[in-house]
Amino acid sequence: MELHITCIPGDGIGPEIVTEAKKVLDKVAEKYGHNMIYTDILMGGASIDVHGVPLTDEAIETAKAADAVLMGSIGGNTTTSPWYQLPPNLRPEAGLLKIRKALNLFANLRPAVLYDELAAACPLKEEISKAGFDMMIMRELTGGLYFGERKTIEENGVRKAIDTLTYDENEIRRIAIKGFDIAMKRKKKVTSVDKANVLDSSRLWRKVVEEVAKDYPEVTLEHMLVDNCAMQLVKDPSQFDVILTENMFGDILSDEASMVTGSIGMLASASLNDTRFGLYEPSHGSAPDIAGKNIANPIATILSAAMMLRYTFDLDQEAAAVEAAVEAVLKEGYRTIDIMSEGCEQVSCSVMGDLLAEKIR
């Protein structure tokens, strides 16, 4: 199978971690008989330095022509980098917003997994963390409060700000279908999170999700109010499989879920459109303070590549091989500096990539 992948190394540690992800993908291709075809484009500060803008139209067209996009990280030091002396629409992160819009990436996937070997880093009590957890936060990315009409006015001498929360049934249906499709690849459970006791948008959300659920009889659906979900994430995270929710709730809950894993360097993410196309990236930032030192943790990017294999290319076996390699290397006690603990062996970014590639079976 030919896999056409556009790579965005980006800024900071981005080039280093993307290099290691390619190393693992190449080993997957070798073991399973695929052909990886990479095309690199510039985005963020790297693009500003060359083209004067964070993302060119030509780069977007290159991304559109691929099957998927694998990204490192975007941005730099916001206080010292000249990139942040530019107008907001020309700063590095503007490229990310532009590509999301151009590629119609409406579904954000944020897995949160607690590995046995990293359980000590989990901030939850041991009686909770010992159960482990493996969940997927499914967040609608292009609608809701963040994209609704907004204005600030003065009314009777009093300043007043208005933000509008709007969803139509088609926006809800397409993210719900993605959520149920992904649940079918996992433990076949969807927890739909809303605020249906207060918000009309949530009541519509709940109705449409229930309509979609009828097409997935194998999947168990439960509804949960967002405040309860926030509590349950720290009380019993093992109960969740796929959490399906709207933009603002997903923004908050995905950050909460990431913190209970104890290590942001392990967190993958993906943004999908209404085809199999997706943009895959680690959840962490560009870490300019450690760029070029070969000490970054590439695992989040490599796990993002595993998500790409599973959700864009439908290569579940290959994705599982990458995930198993991560578990095996952690079990053998190898750690990058960010997840280092007593009794383990510290390795560099490139050595971690080598170790993971060697474990692909």
Q: Which sequence positions are flagged as catalytic?
A: 146, 195, 227, 251, 255
CA 281 vs CA 54, 55, 298, 314: distances in Å: 17, 17, 11, 18
Beta-sheet pairing, 107-113 with 268-272: antiparallel
Contact 219, 190 (CB under 8 A): yes
Quick one: which of 5, 7, 15, 6 has its CA closest to 286?
15
CA 240-25-361 angle, to 5 degrees, is 80
Q: Tell me whether strands 150-155 and 158-163 are parallel, antiparallel or unpaired.
A: antiparallel
* Three-class SS state of 240: coil
Alpha helices by DSSP H, the chain: 14-32, 45-51, 57-65, 92-102, 126-129, 169-184, 200-213, 226-235, 247-261, 299-311, 316-331, 349-358
